[in-house]
């Protein structure tokens, strides 16, 4: 397994040496973006540096999606996680998708899972947040 080739679901998920999310941070005002920017949306400066996002956080908003577009398995918990001051979008995983198990303010940590392996033996790795 450790020798299998892996690819992240999105490029801002870095898998080695350990899974973490990496943002482009504006060197001027500190605003963070998970995709590319020509200029910072906050201060218009143009210098960015990659920064690791903390892998633990607090759930600050969520919904339990019961009705989704075709092909999306439901129910699932979509949430916004405050990771040390940086808001991250992700699903709450490895717990029942019910209001009894998911609550505002709950502590979470980054977790990864396999999306499957393609014809060339490459395994795609997704991420979510699980109860910490």
CB of 42 to other proteins, least distance (A): 4
Return the exposure string of 36-57: e unless at least 16 CB atoms fall within 10 Å of the residue's CB, then b: eeeebeeeeeeebeeeebbbeb
Cα–Cα nearest to 61, from 76, 49, 45, 77: 77
Report the C-alpha gap between 19 and 103 in whole angstroms. 25
Q: What's the min distance (Å) between Cβ of 64 and other proteins?
A: 4
Which residues of this protein are in contact with other proteins, per CB under 8 A? 7-12, 31-36, 41-42, 59-74, 76, 78-80, 85-91, 99, 104-105, 115-116, 118-120, 122, 124, 126-127
Judged by beta carbon, residue 18 or residue 104, the one nearer other proteins is: 104
Tell me whether residue 9 or residue 18 sits nearer to other proteins (CB atom).
9
């Amino acid at each position: 397994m450790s020798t299998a080739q892996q690819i992240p679901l999105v490029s801002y998920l870095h898998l080695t040496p350990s899974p973490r999310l990496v943002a482009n941070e504006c060197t001027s005002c500190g605003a963070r973006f998970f995709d590319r920017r020509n200029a910072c949306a906050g201060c218009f400066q143009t210098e960015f540096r990659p920064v690791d996002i903390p892998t633990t956080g607090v759930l600050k908003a969520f919904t339990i999606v019961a009705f989704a577009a075709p092909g999306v398995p439901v129910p699932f918990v979509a949430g916004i996680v405050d990771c040390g001051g940086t808001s991250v979008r992700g699903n709450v995983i490895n717990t029942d998708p019910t209001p009894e198990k998911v609550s505002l303010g709950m502590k979470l940590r980054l977790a990864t899972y396999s999306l499957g392996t393609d014809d060339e033996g490459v395994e795609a790795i997704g991420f979510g947040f699980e109860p910490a």
